[in-house]
Amino acid sequence: MVFEKRRPGAVLFDRDGTLIRDVPYNGDPGLVEPMPGAVEALGRLRRADVPVAVVTNQSGVAKGLLSPDEMDQVNAKVEELLGPFDAWAICVHDDADGCTCRKPAPGLVIRAAAVLDVSPRDCVVVGDIGRDMDAARAAGARGILVPTEQTLEEEIERAPEVADDLSDVVERVLSGAEEPVPAVSAPWARAMGWSRW
C-alpha cells in the first residue's frame, strides 16, 4: 500500500517502548521516563498542527496488576512530561477477553481516529512492536515501526516502514507535507478523560 505524501490527519503513538521507556505493568508515575527525542518529536508535530494521540494496550488492569486509578496517574505523568495529547484510546483487556480494541485488533486506531474526527486511513501509527503495525494495517492506517532492543527481528522484517527514532518518524511524516491542511481541533475530546473500552 502506497501512502500519499501529504500531511496526516493524526499521528497515533503507542505508549510503552515508543513514547516512554517500557516498565511492564507500571502503576508508578515516578517511573515514567520519556524515550529519547519524544518531547522534540511531539513538539514538531504540534507546531505543524498535526493532532497527536496515544493508542495503548494496558492489560495490567485486566490482570489486576494495576488499578485504573494507577494507570490514570501514569498517563497524567506522561502528559506532564510530554505535553497534552488530543486523544487517548486505551484497551484495559487481556488477550483472552476477545475484545476488538486490543492491538493487533484495529479498535484503538479506529477509536482515536473517531475522537479526532479523521479517517483511520489518514492516520500514522507509530509503535515498537509487531502488534502496533498489525493494528495499523487492520485499520488501513500507515504504520511506522521504531525498533527497540525488545523488538523481534521478524517484526522489523514484516514492518511496512522502519524509522531510526522518533525524530526520523517526524521527518517522514512531515516530508512532502508542506500543503497547509485545516487543523482538526477536538477540545471536547479532552473533557472525555481517557477513552477506555
Q: Residues 6 or more apart from 47 whose CB is under 8 A from it?
A: none
Q: Are 39 and 166 in contact (CB under 8 A)?
A: no
Short-list 186, 171, 167, 178, CA closest to 35? 167
Catalytic: 97? no
Catalytic: 134? no
Out of 16, 122, 132, 134, the active site residue is 16
Out of 14, 86, 128, 134, the active site residue is 14
| Cα 69 → chain centroid | 20
Beta strands in the chain (DSSP E): 10-13, 52-57, 87-91, 123-127, 142-145, 195-196
Q: Residues 6 or more apart from 64 whose CB is under 8 A from it?
A: none
Catalytic residue IDs: 14, 16
